[in-house]
């Protein structure tokens, strides 16, 4: 493989870069000043309710969409006290020890595009490709909050929606296209969401003892005649991602429509050789079905996630080695077949040259290696070559429009029926309250 060494001085902090840095600007670019949109604070801890009866709950809550979401509830203070006493009695021997102070809560947020879940009011006109909802979750919290960006500082800042989880959310990741969202909880459960279509693709439980460390989306690919290929046509409700766990094991999670998700082990946790543990992962968009793995020893491998074998390894020329293997600095281009790696000269050879020569960037071109050249140049397949069972024929435009309108009308009718039912329930609650006061 042809290797070109580009000597340059880099910043001291090493972090992963997974986007293409070759961007061409045409004309003058003018950036507007930042505008303060909203200030979001972590929600308060759930406490006992002041409602005396379920009738007051139904009478004072305006809509049915927030009930049962973890925010509107009917739990008294005495019930919380009983649960706390039971917990303290059960785990008394663990609670008596000295515990460190809990760290501050950190927020993780994602900008979500308009979809079936993140709808935009009809009176609001927004250009295509502009986010309309901010998704936020805090460390140690169970809920994922959705805040509308179509608000001003004077508006009441309440979440548009709340997605509760059974355990605290540890990691969340949004795909580059903005169509898929993965929420990974601390108990090893992953929830896969299809934001574009408006439904969850499923729930995946990682093996026992595995907790998610990072999630990396792969461009969806198919296996055709023993090789990985990208379909040329549009792909809906089909996703794949690589999940790196805290025990250095690597898993592949795939989901497709209503078939349900599946999880498979790509790299097992090393037991005999800890230096082979995977500490960083990155997908390679120009090579379908492949990911880069970085080990603690500084080894860089290209892994085929379908056939579970190492395609090749990327080695730096002596006396260079990978700088900070636990936090490598690299760039895997999205549109071009190349890889950039930052290398650092060994300590035995340091001091012989300038600082610029001790830190270098190495350029790997995939198409200069015969095996990777075949994969890179034949990575797409047309619709005509796909099997009809794997990729059914598209419906005519009239039929697709008819199905789309039918689904939209069904959703609208269901919302109207729910609101009417909720209005009748509120009126009935107020009537019962008045009768109770008269008695």
For 290, the enclosing helix (H) or strand (E) is strand 290-295
Query: Residue 242 has what pLDDT?
Result: 92
In terms of average pLDDT, the best of 54-58, 62-66, 130-134, 211-215 is 211-215
Query: Residues with Cβ < 8 Å from 340, sequence gap 6 or more?
Result: 330, 331, 361, 362, 363, 364
Each residue of 203-240: pLDDT tens digit? 998 988 888 999 999 988 888 777 788 887 777 888 89
Tell me the average pLDDT of the chain: 77
Distance CA 180, CA 201 (A): 9
Q: Which helix (H) or strand (E) holds 199?
A: strand 199-205
pLDDT range class, residue 394, cuts 50, 70, 90: low
* pLDDT for the residue 119: 66
Neighbouring C-beta atoms of residue 33, cutoff 10 Å: 4
Average pLDDT over residues 82-86: 80
The pair of three-digit structure tokens given for residue 433, joined into one six-digit string: 């309250």
Mean per-residue pLDDT, 270-296: 87
Average pLDDT for 252-271: 86
Instruction: Measure the CA–CA gap between 347 and 331, rounded to whole angstroms.
Output: 25
Which pLDDT does position 172 carry in this prediction?
94
DSSP-assigned beta bridge partners for residue 363: 4, 340
pLDDT digits (tens, 9 = 90+) for 155-168: 777 888 888 888 89
Average pLDDT over residues 253-266: 86
Contact (CB, 8 A) for 264 and 252: yes
Quick one: pLDDT at residue 350?
Answer: 53
Query: Which one of 4-13, 51-60, 164-173, 424-433 scores highest in mean pLDDT?
Result: 164-173
Reported as a single tens digit per residue, the pLDDT across 142-201 is: 889 988 888 776 777 788 888 888 889 999 999 988 889 999 999 889 999 998 888 888
Question: Parallel, antiparallel, or unpaired for β 227-231 and 143-148?
Answer: unpaired
Place of tokens 């993965």: 182
Kindly tell me the sign of the dihedral angle through the C-alpha atoms of 84, 85, 91, 97: positive
pLDDT at position 11: 31
Nearest Cα to Cα of residue 256 among 116, 390, 121: 390
The closest alpha carbon to 434, from 155, 32, 144, 55, belongs to 55
| Closest by CA position to 373, among listed 337, 340, 341, 339 | 337
**More confident of the two residues 393 and 346:** 346
Provide the token pair at 336.
Answer: 């071009």
User: Around Cβ 181, how many Cβ atoms within 10 Å?
Assistant: 23
Which is higher by pLDDT, 17 or 416? 416
Residues of the chain by 3-state class (helix, strand, coil), percent to 5: 20, 30, 45
Query: Is 147 in contact with 156 (CB distance < 8 Å)?
Result: no
Residue 374, pLDDT score: 80
Q: Which residue has the tokens 């042809």?
A: 2
User: Using the 8-state DSSP alphabet, how is residue 179 labeled?
Assistant: S
pTM of the entire structure?
0.67
């Amino acid at each position: 493989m042809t290797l070109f060494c580009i000597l340059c001085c880099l910043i001291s902090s090493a972090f992963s870069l997974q986007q293409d840095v070759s961007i061409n600007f045409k004309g003058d670019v003018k950036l507007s000043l930042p505008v303060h949109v909203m200030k979001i604070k972590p929600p308060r801890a759930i406490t006992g309710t002041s409602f005396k009866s379920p009738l007051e709950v139904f009478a004072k809550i305006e809509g049915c969409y927030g009930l049962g979401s973890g925010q509107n509830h009917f739990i008294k203070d005495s019930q919380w006290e009983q649960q706390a006493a039971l917990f303290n009695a059960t785990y008394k021997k663990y609670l008596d020890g000295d515990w460190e102070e809990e760290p501050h809560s950190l927020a993780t947020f994602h900008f979500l595009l308009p979809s079936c879940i993140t709808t935009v009011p009809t009176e609001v006109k927004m250009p295509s490709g502009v986010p309309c909802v901010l998704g936020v979750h805090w460390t140690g919290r169970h809920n994922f909050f959705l805040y509308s960006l179509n608000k001003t500082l004077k508006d009441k800042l309440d979440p548009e929606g709340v997605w509760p989880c059974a355990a605290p959310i540890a990691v969340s990741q949004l795909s580059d296209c903005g169509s898929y969202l993965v929420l990974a909880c601390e108990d090893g459960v992953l929830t896969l969401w299809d934001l574009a279509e408006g439904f969850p693709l499923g729930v995946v439980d990682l093996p026992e003892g595995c907790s998610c460390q990072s999630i990396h989306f792969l461009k969806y690919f198919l296996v055709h005649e023993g090789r990985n290929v990208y379909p040329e046509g549009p792909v809906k409700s089909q996703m794949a991602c690589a999940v790196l766990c805290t025990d250095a094991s690597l898993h592949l999670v795939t989901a497709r429509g209503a078939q349900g998700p599946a999880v498979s082990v790509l790299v097992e946790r090393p037991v005999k050789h800890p230096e082979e543990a995977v500490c960083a992962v990155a997908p390679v968009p120009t090579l379908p079905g492949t990911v880069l793995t970085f080990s603690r020893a500084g080894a860089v491998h290209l892994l085929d996630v379908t056939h579970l074998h190492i395609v090749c390894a990327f080695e730096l020329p002596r006396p260079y080695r990978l700088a900070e293997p636990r936090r490598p600095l690299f760039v895997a281009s999205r549109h071009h077949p190349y890889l950039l790696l930052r290398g650092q000269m060994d300590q035995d050879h340091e001091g012989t040259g300038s600082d610029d020569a001790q830190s270098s960037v190495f350029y790997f071109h995939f198409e200069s290696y015969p095996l990777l050249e075949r994969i890179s140049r034949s990575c797409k397949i047309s619709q005509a070559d796909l099997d009809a069972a794997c990729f059914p024929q598209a419906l005519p435009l009239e039929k697709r429009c008819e199905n789309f309108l039918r689904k939209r009308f069904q959703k609208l009718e269901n919302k109207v029926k729910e609101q009417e039912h909720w209005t009748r329930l509120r009126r009935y609650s107020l009537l019962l309250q008045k009768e109770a006061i008269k008695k």
